[in-house]
Amino acid sequence: MYTHTHKWLLTLMRLLGGIMNFKNTDTHYNTLSVALHWLMFILIVTVYGSIELRELFDKGTETRDAFKMWHFMLGLSVLALVSVRLVARLVGGAAPAIQPEPAKWQNKLATFVHIALYVFMFAMPIAGWLILSLAGKPIPFFGLELPALAAQNFELAKSIKEIHETAGEVGYYVIGLHAAAALFHHYVLADNTVSRMRFPKYYK
């Protein structure tokens, strides 16, 4: 019993040590970046899921409004986490190299998609925050009410909402391209693209 407990404590300490160490290795991204990557994947799925599920309910119903509220709060959570992730990415140092090395056009495409994803993850939550602000609506965030970013302006709110919804549709394709590229690297090219974003093993 003691040995088993001791083993788990050692594992936990090593995991925490990995989180505190923000540097990437030759084979893996740092643990914090990996954790944030997969947590944000789950969040983005729930953000899209909540806004799609609201369509199953009539306008003005409590359930529809609840899905809209969760869509906004989870979207703001993405904004918070992507800010932390960007810092972790910057201080982590050089990204683990892809082996075998891909073609130059693949590297350029990957860079473009990554930049697009970061812009998307920053811009979409801010746009949602701005829409509620301009519409004069409360801005909930897990029991808190955030301050408005701008004074009331219904016409501008409507315009930004249209852009927000269009960008959301485009987001499906950008995220899909990212996922498809990861699967292509893993199953077709058989390189280490996906394994770089796995948690390293802390003990054998």
pLDDT given for residue 69 in this prediction = 94
pLDDT given for residue 48 in this prediction = 95
The residue-averaged pLDDT of 10-25 equals: 64
The answer to whether 69 and 140 have CB atoms below 8 angstroms apart is yes
Supply 68's token pair: 């809209």
Query: Is position 12 within any domain?
Result: no
Query: Is position 1 within any domain?
Result: no
pLDDT given for residue 23 in this prediction = 86
Question: How many domains is the chain built from?
Answer: 1
Query: Is position 76 within any domain?
Result: yes
Query: Is position 46 within any domain?
Result: yes
Strands (E), the chain: 140-141, 144-145
Containing structural domain, residue 96: 36-197
**In the predicted structure, residue 6 carries a pLDDT above the cut 50:** yes
What lies within 8 Å, CB to CB, of 112 at 6+ separation is: none
pLDDT given for residue 89 in this prediction = 86
151 sits in the region (left: phi over 0; alpha: psi -120 to 50; else beta) called beta
Q: For 31-66, how does the pLDDT look when each residue is reduced to its tens digit (9 = 90+)?
A: 888 999 999 999 999 999 999 999 999 998 999 999
Does this model's pTM top 0.75?
yes
The residue-averaged pLDDT of 142-162 equals: 95
